[in-house]
Structure 1
Amino acid sequence: MTKIVSWNIQCGLGVDGQINLNRIAEVISSQGDPDIICLQEVARFDPDSDQGQGADQYAILSDLFPHHSAFWGPAIDRLYSGEHNRRQFGNMILSRLPVLQVFNHLLPQPRPEKPCKNMPRQALEVVVNLENGPLRIATTHLEYHCTKQRYAQAGYLCEVQEEVVSNLDYHCIAPSSGPYAAIPRPERSIICGDFNAVVGEETYSLLNSEIPLISKHYIDAWPAFHNDKKHAPTCGIFDPEQWPEGPHCRDFFFITESLVPFVKNVRVDEQTDASDHQPVTLEL
């Protein structure tokens, strides 16, 4: 069994107004000791994100999971005048499984149709080695304020999968070592994270292969396992001020159809208020 947890941790900020990464780690460990942990909204040396602490949250979380290898994907990487540390904000993956290779994807940021707040977005991809072969896992956090950017970012993720599939025969001519070597990057793939889209929205439909001219590889793991059961809410349970629309789902696992037979469970922890989002677990 392989367990993967995805969680937007809001830089460790709980609904009680306290930043507590130890609490975040405790909640993650309670999900059944996951093999792979995919986190969104992790900050490094950014006091604007962690109530003035300016902590290296990547380092702290790495230390809290000493049996996992840590990988970092900054969406924002800036140096402010008079500061020595770069302020960073992005995604993180912790893996207890061997990681064969890593890719950092800067997602598109097209001009909004109407001026609005928006920021750089990123997807972090790792290839892990399972007993039955390699698996690609990417975690991301798509744009919230700009629908056009969010859709373009989802389209990019679909294009990456199409590109990977089209290049699967490269190993036939690749050298055995060096930068041109064909390190495994399989068709079997998972994208998880905070997509800032709800079921039925165009971005969701794109990632769920409902727009076949553009996307045809991924499907939402929740209905693949739970059939007609409504998605459990992944945000808005405990924080009505930030989420006045109430409990709803915007955090998903999208998987390739080749993984559907291996899905043993998809579940949401609806009890914790350690973030404004809820952790989601996929078991394979």
Structure 2
Amino acid sequence: MKLVTWNTQWCRGLDGMVSPRRIVEGARALADFDVLCLQEVASGYTRMPGAPADQPAELQALLPGFRLFFGAAVEEFDAQGGHLRFGNLIATRLPVAMVRHHPLPWPADPAVSTMPRMCTVVTLNSPDLGAVRVMTTHLEYYSAAQRSAQARALRALHAEACEQAAAPPQAGDEHSPFQPKPHTQQAILCGDFNMEATDPAHAEIQQPFGLQAAGGTPGMRLQDAWPIVHGQRPHDPTFRLFDKQYGPEPAAFDFVFVSEPLIPRLRRIEVDRQSRASDHQPVVVELEG
């Protein structure tokens, strides 16, 4: 299974042009992906630079054979009643069993400008891997306190899903919302975390949980895929590589975490260091059965 994750900056390249087509073509050049996870997808914000239109609809047209799931972290209306949405999107050509959208914590922080954040989760069925829970997110940039709370919430979401897989609820009516759900401990968490690997929140996501912390159960925690594949080699930068608006030094802000059952299946994780189709670089990860 091949997955590409990319903060698209509402599909706005460093030349100022907004082009969902260029994002899709750039992702395809990186890999023949089965799953595409995009952050900062916009709809209706025509006053933002580049005037993005209905990007979920545009991306759907560009991805025939894929199903798209858009989770709006921000959903609001302008003075003219226009419908504005901004959030994350998962597109996949694999069979989908369940979709969930989780708002993340947004504690008050009056010192900075912030916005709501969320995590979209799609449980899919891979021919090679079986059921895999794909989670994509975009954490707060300006508030470290909010970002830390959001990291803890992501870990809690993963822990809850693992507990559901270990002890599923009783089966209900197969023709109602109580029908059995496809819980799995195989998970991929990816996106723009707006922090470097040295940030305490990066370690927080990877902390053990529940009985695992006491050594009572096999490990199911999330782990950063980069050092698993590349060892001590520093993360390739994914932000500020070309655009210095937010700082002079390149940094890795975009990560892929995998749950421990998927670690033996992890084969590749790389960063496209050439693309200028966004202010972030896309990341590809490949897993085999």
Tell me the SS of whatever aligns to 2:30: coil
Q: Give the aligned partner of residue 115 of structure 1.
A: 111
Q: Deviations over 1:121-179 (max 9, x none)?
A: 01100001012420000100000000010010111111111111222255462125121
CA contact (8 A) 1:47 1:54 kept: yes
Is 1:217 aligned to residue 216 of structure 2? no
Question: Whole-Å Cα distance in 2 between the matches of residues 197 and 111 of structure 1?
Answer: 19
Q: Give the aligned partner of residue 217 of structure 2.
A: none
Q: Quick one: structure 1 residues 212 and 15, their matched pair in 2 at CA, closer, same or farther if it must change by over 3 Å?
A: farther
Question: Whole-Å Cα distance in 1 between the matches of residues 208 and 195 of structure 2?
Answer: 14
- Give 1:40 deviation, angstroms: 0.2
Q: Give the aligned partner of residue 273 of structure 1.
A: 276
Tell me the SS of whatever aligns to 1:267: strand
The 5-angstrom pairing of residues 174-213 of structure 1 reads 174-175=171-172, 177=174, 178-209=176-207
Q: Deviations over 1:46-93 (max 9, x none)?
A: 113343x3510110011111121111100000012323x410000001
Give the residue type in structure 2 aligned to 1:58.
Answer: P
CA contact (8 A) 1:158 1:214 kept: no
The 5-angstrom pairing of residues 156-171 of structure 1 reads 156-171=153-168
Q: Give the aligned partner of residue 80 of structure 1.
A: 78
Tell me the SS of whatever aligns to 2:113: coil
The 5-angstrom pairing of residues 48-127 of structure 1 reads 48-51=47-50, 53-83=51-81, 85-112=82-109, 115-127=111-123
What is the aligned-residue identity percentage? 37
CA contact (8 A) 1:164 1:187 kept: yes
Q: Quick one: structure 1 residues 49 and 236, their matched pair in 2 at CA, closer, same or farther if it must change by over 3 Å?
A: same
- Give 1:18 deviation, angstroms: 1.5
Is 1:258 aligned to residue 261 of structure 2? yes
Give the residue type in structure 1 aligned to 2:143.
Answer: C
Where do 5+ consecutive residues of structure 2 fail to align?
A: 214-219
Give the residue type in structure 1 aligned to 2:98.
Answer: Q
Computed over aligned residues only, the root mean square deviation of the Cα atoms, in angstroms, reads 2.0
Q: Give the aligned partner of residue 128 of structure 1.
A: 124
Give the residue type in structure 2 aligned to 1:67.
Answer: G
- Give 1:207 deviation, angstroms: 1.4
Q: Quick one: structure 1 residues 130 and 210, their matched pair in 2 at CA, closer, same or farther if it must change by over 3 Å?
A: closer
Q: Quick one: structure 1 residues 245 and 212, their matched pair in 2 at CA, closer, same or farther if it must change by over 3 Å?
A: farther
Q: Give the aligned partner of residue 150 of structure 1.
A: 147
Q: Output the TM-score relative to the length of structure 2.
A: 0.91
Give the residue type in structure 2 aligned to 1:226.
Answer: H
Q: Output the TM-score relative to the length of structure 1.
A: 0.93
Tell me the SS of whatever aligns to 1:28: helix
Give the residue type in structure 2 aligned to 1:186.
Answer: T
Question: Whole-Å Cα distance in 1 between the matches of residues 269 and 206 of structure 2?
Answer: 16
Q: Give the aligned partner of residue 25 of structure 2.
A: 26
CA contact (8 A) 2:4 2:31 kept: no
- Give 1:209 deviation, angstroms: 2.4
Give the residue type in structure 2 aligned to 1:247.
Answer: P
- Give 1:210 deviation, angstroms: 7.8
Where do 5+ consecutive residues of structure 1 fail to align?
A: none
Q: Which moves more between the two structures, 148-157 or 180-189?
A: 180-189
CA contact (8 A) 1:251 1:280 kept: yes
Q: Which moves more between the two structures, 19-28 or 188-197?
A: 19-28
Residue correspondences, number: 279
CA contact (8 A) 1:116 1:146 kept: yes
Q: Give the aligned partner of residue 216 of structure 2.
A: none
